[in-house]
Amino acid sequence: MSNDIQHKHFTRSEMVSELLRKKALTVIFTLILLSAILFIAGLSAGSTVLNPLDVVKHLTGAGSGEHNFVIHTLRLPRMLLAMLAGAALGVAGLIMQGVVRNPLGSPDIIGVTGGASFAAVFFLTRLAGSVSIKWLPIAAIVGAAAVSALIYALAWRKGVTPVRLVLVGIGLSACTGALTTMMIVLNDEYSTTRAYLWMTGSVYGAKWSDVYSLLPWVALLVPLSLLFAKSANVLETGDETAAGLGVRIQLHRIGMLTISVALAGAAVAFAGGIGFVGLIAPHIARKLVGRAFGYLVPVSALIGSMMVALADVVARTAFLPLDIPAGVFVSGIGAPFFIYLLYRSRHQ
Amino acid sequence: MTHLFRRTAYKWAGLALTLLIFAAAFAASLAFGQTQIKPGTVWEALFRYDASVQEHVIITTSRLSRALIAAVIGASLAIAGALLQALTKNQLASPSIFGINSGAIFFIVAAAAFFSVSSLIQYMWIAFAGAAAAALMVYALGSTGRGGMSPMKFVLAGAAISALFVSLTQGVLVTSEQSLQSVLFWLAGSVAGRTVEMLLPILPFMAGGWIAAFLLGHSVNILTSGEEVAKGLGQKTLWVKTAMIAVIVLLAGGSVAVGGSIGFVGLVIPHIARGLVGIDYRWIIPYCALLGGSLLLLADVAARFVIMPQEMPIGVMTALIGTPFFIYIARRRSGRI
């Protein structure tokens, strides 16, 4: 990117980007290593503590099979689902922050997650008896998409500016929030508790089928978002600059929003309303590898997945026999951390 | 800014008219519901009470306290919203959008779950603490950083803080299931099922807040004409701002303690009041009190009919009314933000 613009300093900019590349690759490699350690540790920890070596043996197929149930049926799908959801939320947040050009503009703040929650709670309280629970993810994604389309349409006034997008989103999310509460309040006790637990965000009781259903979304959409890397870098500089450089702003914005919404919707569908990941993961990613979108995508995905996985491991082990929803933990740790980040950025 | 009542005489007449609307809304709140009661019977119940008449009992035991609570909360939230909009110079400010309501709610839910607090007067102090915590966090987040205080930053900071408190509240509720059912309806915002006795201990604080807001009116006028101007005129702006925050916390926190999460009143009403009387806060505050009370009374009446025979939580009702309004202002104003 930078060599296109700065022909005069060709060698120097090439050197800088080479340095950046090395740094980014080091970061990505380190994060993968940490994820692997977290993965093994997470599979070992729990009410039955396993030897990490046995876990590795099991994963490589050399195990004796005695921990088959604990690892393969209980912990592995839960771990994988947490990581996939976290990766999806991290990238969804990154893209959304780029589109609205504000570090606070993540899917959960501007109402996309609220739409998904509304649809899912509607499904859980009104339709769950007559329609198979398998359709819950579809309901959540449809909800996220519908609310996003509504936000975009309502923010449209000879084009869409990031400010209007955010403000309309916040207004709508207050509305979907109120409606969600209403459906929960006006229902019988059983579905209320279930819907509420879901809303809080939990990978409790994750099954392999959930993992297989979420995997294609993440595996497809995260690489797809890299296609927008160039326009994302330009869009960040502002509408005028972007238009001047020939980026078709509205078109690219819609494309990026679609990916972000689909990722957020899919993650919310399987893991419930886990907040703050889409807000924080991109922040940390930017601190680590700078502003180049191409590096930010994998780093945000890795950090997001580690956040949710770590939160879930701590939430299910620290308060045994209680199994606290991961979402509570993410926001309990994430929100103060986020405030700290904002405070820091002020002093730089 | 253009407004409707330009002469002082018109403003007084408008105030009388608003008072009339408020009285009508109050009467409607007493008369309409599952049991329809004739205006004449309402009058008799209030002034020639007869315990053997069923309608009289309905009015004095449930409808009257409900109407009083709706009026008090509506007035308080509207005044808090007006002060918040003046303080942050932000058209979109209101206690619910800024996370002040969710802060108070989280503190109450946490106190109920972990310290088994149950008396309303304790709830009130806890709600004040929660409202103050959220208000200070949002104010700090919104006014720091590059570019100083900007409306956009305030709204986003409010949304972030409110998301924080909402998820923490959910966390507490999920881990202690038995408390979930009992607080859910209250969480959604409701003025039903409360007695006047619950309102009485809080009323002096609320009334104090109203009076303080009215007395602050002149200082607020000076402050809204600009920080520099205010300082030039010898105003201690820090003190005025602190007093405004204190009144906002008092009114919003007290409202949450009684009625749970009721949003958008503090957003909509100040706009209407400014449209009627302009930018003089000595007029805006009383108009806000009467109009806010009327709005919540009417919303409460509507909430009884929308999904009969069940009742809609009034917080949902105000959100349904307020969201289109919020989006309208956001679309109109965001060019200037």
Q: What is the pLDDT of residue A24?
A: 86
The residues near B41 (Cβ < 8 Å, ≥ 6 apart) are: B53, B55, B56, B59
Mutate to test the interface with A, among B162, B174, B306, B317 (most CBs of A within 10 A): B174
Mean pLDDT (chain A) is 81
pLDDT at site A1: 43
pLDDT bracket for residue B76 (50, 70, 90): very high
Q: A217 near A266, Cβ under 8 Å?
A: yes
d(C-alpha A108, C-alpha A147), whole Å? 12
Average pLDDT score over residue span B226-231 = 81
- Global pTM reads 0.81
Q: What is the DSSP string of B254-312?
A: HHHHHH----SHHHHHHHHHHHHHTT-HHHHHHHHHHHHHHHHHHHHHHHHHTTTTS--
Q: What pLDDT sits at residue A89?
A: 93
B2 burial type by CB count under 10 A (0-12 exposed, 13-18 middle, 19+ buried):
exposed
If you compute the radius of gyration of chain B from its CA atoms, what whole number of angstroms results?
20
Q: What is the pLDDT of residue A341?
A: 65
Residues ≥6 apart with Cβ < 8 Å to A71:
A43, A50, A55, A58, A59
For residues B33 and B63, the answer to whether their CB atoms sit within 8 Å is yes
Chain B nearest-CA residue for A178 = B316
**Inter-chain CB proximity A196 and B137 less than 8 Å:** no
Check which CATH number belongs to the domain holding A109 and give it: 1.10.3470.10
Residue B336: both structure tokens together? 């200037």
Mutation for B interface: A170, A239, A283, most B CBs within 10 A: A170
- Across the interface, of B173, B263, B316, the residue whose CB is closest to A182 is B316
pLDDT of residue A298 exceeding 90: yes
Q: What's residue B283's pLDDT?
A: 92
The neighbour count for residue A46, using CB atoms within 10 Å, is 17
Q: Is A157 on the interface with B (CB under 8 A)?
A: yes
With cut-offs at 50, 70 and 90, classify the pLDDT of residue A219.
very high
Q: How many residues does the structure list for chain B?
A: 337
The whole-number average pLDDT for the span B255-278 is 88
SS (H, E, C) chain A: CHHHHCCCCHHHHHHHHHHHHHHHHHHHHHHHHHHHHHHHHHHHCCCCCCCHHHHHHHHCCCCCCCCHHHHHHHHHHHHHHHHHHHHHHHHHHHHHHHHHCCCCCCCCCCCHHHHHHHHHHHHHHHHCCCCCHHHHHHHHHHHHHHHHHHHHHHHCCCCCCHHHHHHHHHHHHHHHHHHHHHHHHCCCHHHHHHHHHHHHCCCCCCCHHHHHHHHHHHHHHHHHHHCCHHHHHHHCCCHHHHHHCCCCHHHHHHHHHHHHHHHHHHHHHHHCCCCCHHHHHHHHHHHHHCCCHHHHHHHHHHHHHHHHHHHHHHHHHCCCCCCCCHHHHHHHHHHHHHHHHHHHHHCC
Domain extent at residue A12: 2-346
What is the number of domains present in chain A?
1
pLDDT for residue A347 = 46
**At B297, is the pLDDT very low, low, confident or very high (cuts 50, 70, 90)?**
very high
Q: Which of residues 148-177 of B touch A (CB under 8 A)?
A: 152-153, 155-157, 159-160, 163-164, 166-168, 170-171, 173-175, 177
Residues of A in contact with B113 (CB under 8 A): none
pLDDT per position as a tens digit, B204-222: 999 999 999 999 999 888 8
Q: Which residue does chain A place closest to B155, by CA atoms?
A: A167
Query: Which residues of chain A does B174 touch, with a Cβ-Cβ cutoff of 8 Å?
Result: 196-197, 200, 324-325, 328
Rg (alpha carbons) of chain A, rounded to whole number: 21
Q: Does B308 touch chain A (CB under 8 A)?
A: no
Q: What are the Cα distances from residue B16, in Å, to B6, B12, B183, B290?
A: 15, 6, 39, 10
Single-letter residue type at B312: M
How sure is the predictor about B286, in pLDDT bands with cuts at 50, 70 and 90? very high
Domains and CATH numbers, chain B: 8-93+191-333 (1.10.3470.10)
Cβ distance B168 to A331 less than 8 Å, yes or no, reads yes
Residue among B171, B185, B323 minimizing CB distance to A332: B171
pLDDT band at B182 (very low <50, low <70, confident <90, very high): low
Question: At residue B293, does pLDDT exceed 90?
Answer: yes
